[in-house]
Structure 1
Amino acid sequence: MVSLTRISEYVAQTANIIGGVLELDVLIVDRSLRIIGDSDLASVSEEECIRKDSILAKVMAEKEQIILSSKEHNAGCASCLQRNLCMVEMIIGIPIFFESKILGSIGIIANTLYDKEKMINNQENYLKFIDRMIELLTNRLKEEQALEEISLLKKRMEVVLDSIDDFLVLVSRDGEILQTNLNFKNIFKRKKPKYLNEVLCADVVDQLLNDSEEVKFKEVKVNKIHDFLLSSKPVIVDQKDHGALLSFKSIKDVAVEMNELYTHSMDVVFDDLVGESPQINMVKERIKQIASSSSTVLIDGETGTGKEVIARLIHNTSTRSNAPFVAINCSAIPEDLMESELFGYEEGAFSGAKKGGKIGKFQLASGGTIFLDEIGEMALHLQSKLLRVLQERQVNKIGGLESTEVDVRILAATNKRLEDLVKQGRFREDLYYRLKVIPITSPPLRERKDDIRLLVDYFISYYASRIGKDINGISDNAMGILMEHPWKGNVRELRNVIEFSINMSTGDMITQTSLPFDLVHPTQEYDEDLNIEVVTQRLIEKALIKYGDSTIAKEMAAKSLGISVATLYRKMKELDLKNSIG
């Protein structure tokens, strides 16, 4: 609420000025009857008030000017105990209004007959002068109110700015730092910079201040230590450049936000690695053993065996679990884009490179884990760069001159035999051994059929709830069909079969009629061609694909086929299999 006490010093000065000009006593009180200004130049106590039946109190009550030229005309004077000692001969009381509300009153007092005569003779001029002084008082109140509103707005803006996770900086046209939020201040602690060139390198400062253009997500170092993405927006007022607002986002925070946004649904735990077979228990035990390590892990296994689940479980049980988990499928991204995805690029590195450049996946994963799925599909020239990251723990952006250190654990996965790719010259041998520090094999479902029942129950519970059906289990007949199926698609295929069957079920059980038709009625693999040479060729091909092309692998393939190694080599030559395998 507006009050004269907010400008008490100014009111006191005004009382002294009026008293000095008019050569009369002046008293100014607020609406609570407290004396704010007294022209006798004596200091006024905050508790000093006038009487409730005084003239100035009456002025505020009636909200109009009152002239008292005789004490006999005032009831308050009649009841005053100091009446006989009172020197006052005349009082003019004038109300003080602010936005139609009474704030107080001013009393002009004549203590002698000479002063009274002077007041009567100059009353009109005196009142004009007092009105002007009241106008000055109210203008001062408006200024104070505006300053208070500005101060409150500034405080609110500071609260808003400090609540923003980004680091915000407002700079002038010449690079002076005008305002920052708390996050930015915390970087520098006691030594706060005054100019932008104390924070950023010269070429970046020049771009921000001289180009007068927006900058988006430009990678910069602040204080030569902290990695940030910088965005800026010029401050244009009346078509004139007045500086810029800079927003810094920590690259580490960006990675964490992306991880929370895109991978929250994959917060896997050991219960998600369903199974109690020796093969799956061995995998679980291996994950526990390497939880505290930062060593590279190579996960091999057929498609659909759950290699990514294993990778995420390794990350979630490690000391890096609160840091980013960044997954990238090496077979899903075109070769010419893979390098920029992994390592990023600088602005202008190539035609079409976006302004500000791009952060690579390795930088986003720094402090956490990067999962390179289908690593066998990576091009040879990128394998060389990946090897350098493994050896030096540094990445180079495309078009960049400086290396950036990264602290990242690498997990790789493949459904191919990398040792065979090494022999064929399609995969670097040194990279292979760098990746295979800790090997983990994700077993195919056909080798752990005891887990099929557990997996079926798990998927029924999950999909029945998700689809909204009351499915309590699976019939023995349907379960028998699942147990006999070869599951070339492994756990992924089983999961899809259960989801399909729940959708197709009309009762509370999955039955044979709910299962996919081709699962219940499989086609014979060789019905179309019973030629013995064709069958022989296909069996040998399958054996070589399964065991590989090495000498030892061929011995194992021959044993599985029930023939000698010499016979295998002879058949391969007769059927010209040397060039058709791999």
Structure 2
Amino acid sequence: MSIQSTIARFVQILSRMINLDVEVIDTELVRIAGSGPYANNLGRPLTTGTNAFKWIIANRKEKIIKKSGEDSECLSCTRRVSCQEKAFLGIPVLFKNECLGVISLVCFNEEQRQQLLTNTSLYMGYIEDISKVFIATKLEDMYYSSLKNTENVIRLLSSKITEGVLEVDDKGNCTHINEAAKKQLKLNKSDKLSLISVRPFGKRRISNRESEEFIIKNGAEEIISPGVLIPNGNGKLLVLTHNAPGNSNDSGQPSVSGKYHSRMVGDSLPMQKLQNKITKIASSPSSVLINGESGSGKEVVARLIHETGARRKKPFVAINCAAIPEHLLESELFGYARGAFTGAATQGKEGLIKSADGGTLFLDEIGDMPLNLQAKLLRVLDRREISPVGSSTVSTVNIRVISATHQNLLTLTEKKLFREDLYYRLNVIPLVVPSLRERKNDIPLLARFFLKKQAKEMGLPVPAISDDSMAYLNNWDWPGNVRELANTMEYLINMVEHGGVILPDLLPDHFCQLNDDYHSNRLDSSSISTFSVEKNSPSMSLEEMEKQRIQAALKKFDLKKGKQQVADELGIGIATLYRKIKKYNLEEDASAK
């Protein structure tokens, strides 16, 4: 348990890389770390289902159970009847022929079982490399000094796996790339690492599988590839799935699988009204337009409509119209024919609209769609027909379109920035997602929900929140909405002691500063910080408070280096910051330095 945090980190990375659950126990059968159902009860000895572990510890050899319930160690197991596991691979952690513990991979469905049996030797190599860093961290043995740096171990693992892996910093710039990724992305030896960057693109689901997609920029070229992003210290790991650009078929085991389950957390009156509307319109074929501030949960609402409606067993394809370069958007939406343009895949590519056939197409930030594509989308809505780029072939699609925006589309139509006919075709069923400040009664529920979610993902116990801390959270007006709250909970799960209580001193500084200034009026006006506001009557509007915080933040940071620091401190996205600057006429403050 003395190196539990190091082990937990590697367990989460390994589990997400290979899409199997991982469990680590010591020789006393104490669970040190785990993913999925094994992320709970850490630090406690196991009392059932330990036969395989005992065999591995006693024999100091690996053990694979190809079919749970039929192995000799399963026959006498007390959990044999209720066991949900399908297969198991356990590897001893050995040091000088002494067993220190066991790292195991566990399967819960037939697909995972086949994956484990096919890649057994490969996975054993992964675990042996990881066990070395556990030993090095615990014993500080000089023989393993080259492996003490956890980043080196991650690179060692990524060099051996068949998935492409890119290491990126907090700004999305690539800092390392393995050979598999170079092949998948068709990079040349002359391509410079400094010119490669990554940013989110959107999500698509095909055959009950969902994968997030990313735009990988290499100089002037941009490639879209599916993958999964894994937190890794100060940066992230992007693990590419096998159906990389140009491959229309999934040729290998994807990194992300399983059905997405949406959930709206909250029982406030605005959320009850929204839930009632969703229930009524879920199975309708009519288009839905979701309005709401950034971070309020518009995509969650879209998914909930899909998953509770008649199309729930069909694909849900999501795309962010604001995140895709205009020259890529058309080909991604409508697909393209073979040889349609320079750099096109030789066999052509099916578009996202076609991928959503029978299901739901979710167009996030629809207000940012270029006018020329709006005309083509209108044809899809009117005739349910699409024509790939570079082709005269027309094919029909059966889709339900759900769109979302933080902008006022009616105002955009008046300014000729959005087609009026398309607006009325999209806005058949309008829904409004309330901001978090409009449903503050839901903050305690949401805070505990995100704490539990983050704790499970990180393999940590769920901390409690003190009443004083919750009061601070309730008094914050959350300009970044639910997304800001989720990020705050992730911050706190990293700050609090394992199994501890979140006290006010753990909260980011701006919570305490705003509350002290606004409610106690104890701060001197000369000591206004980035997030505190000037002394004013309690009747000051939320918008005025928000404007003052943004204005103070703009003055605090050196804007020649960019405004990302300001956005990070405020807990909002960079696009939201620019929008707020424009809204409050703060352009002069934004360019003052």
- TM-score interval for Structure 1 and Structure 2 normalised by the shorter chain: 0.3 to 0.5
The two structures have a TM-score, normalised by structure 2, of 0.45
Structure whose CA Rg is larger = 1
Q: Larger relative contact order (C-alpha < 8 A, sep ≥ 6)?
A: 2
The two structures have a TM-score, normalised by structure 1, of 0.46
